[in-house]
């Protein structure tokens, strides 16, 4: 019995993914998927939760001016890293009135975030390795009222553990 398998084109799309073939796999009629990396895209750094509404269906409502500054779209996946409580979760962004300073965590996530908590709201994007090498994430630092500051400095890693630099 003959197989009805049809080899994919050397360059094209398979199940919606961009594919590219090297010369050996192209000669065989197969293609390989181009690797994509999940790369840090942007964040709103150390925002203060203003509301937590357990009765809402879900998501996090964020001041629209902060969404725009951080290049976050409505309904985009957003990670919430709670600095105060040490919790992490993922939800999606909704628009809150611009200039309101609102950071309202909704639904079940409201059990892990309370008004006054400091949070980091982060997004990620899929990129090829070449795109990732050229990418610079957007970091929006805010004051105690969730207003963007003028601080445009690059992120600096925290202090390196002393034990890393000591000889074994």
Give residue limits of the domains in the chain: 40-127+137-141
CA proximity to 74, closest of 98, 51, 110? 98
Query: Is residue 76 within 8 Å of 155, Cβ to Cβ?
Result: no
**Active-site annotation, residues:** 59, 92
SS3 67: helix
Q: What is the CATH number of domain 40-127+137-141?
A: 2.40.40.20
- What does the DSSP 8-state code read for residue 100? S
Give the pLDDT confidence of 100-151 residue by residue, as tens digits.
999 999 999 999 999 999 999 999 999 999 999 999 999 999 999 999 999 9
For residues 6 and 62, what is the distance between their CA atoms, to the nearest angstrom? Answer: 48
**Whole-number pLDDT of residue 157:** 77
- Find the helix or strand (DSSP H, E) in which 118 lies: strand 118-127
What is each CA distance from 110 to 47, 55, 82, 97, in whole angstroms? 15, 9, 11, 20
Is the per-residue pLDDT at 30 higher than 50?
yes
Is the per-residue pLDDT at 45 higher than 90?
yes
Residue 124 β-bridge partners: 40
Give the pLDDT confidence of 4-24 residue by residue, as tens digits.
444 444 445 445 555 555 555
Q: Which of 9 and 68 is assigned the larger pLDDT?
A: 68
**From 34-38, 48-52, 76-80, the region with the lowest mean pLDDT:** 34-38
| Cα end-to-end distance, the chain, whole Å | 64
């Amino acid at each position: 019995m003959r197989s009805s398998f049809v080899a994919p084109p050397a360059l094209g799309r398979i199940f919606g993914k961009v594919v590219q073939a090297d010369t050996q796999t192209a000669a065989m009629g197969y293609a390989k998927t181009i690797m994509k990396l999940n790369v840090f895209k942007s964040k709103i750094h150390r925002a203060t939760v203003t509301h937590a509404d357990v009765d809402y269906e879900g998501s996090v409502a964020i001041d629209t001016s902060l969404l725009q500054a951080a290049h976050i779209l409505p309904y985009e996946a957003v990670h919430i890293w709670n600095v105060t409580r040490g919790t992490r979760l993922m939800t999606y962004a909704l628009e809150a009135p611009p200039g309101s300073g609102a950071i309202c965590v909704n639904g079940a996530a409201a059990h892990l975030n309370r008004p006054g908590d400091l949070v980091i709201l982060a997004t990620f994007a899929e990129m090829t390795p070449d795109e990732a090498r050229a990418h610079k994430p957007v970091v929006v630092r805010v004051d105690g009222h969730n207003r963007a500051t003028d601080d445009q400095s690059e992120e600096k890693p925290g202090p390196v553990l002393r034990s890393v630099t000591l000889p074994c």
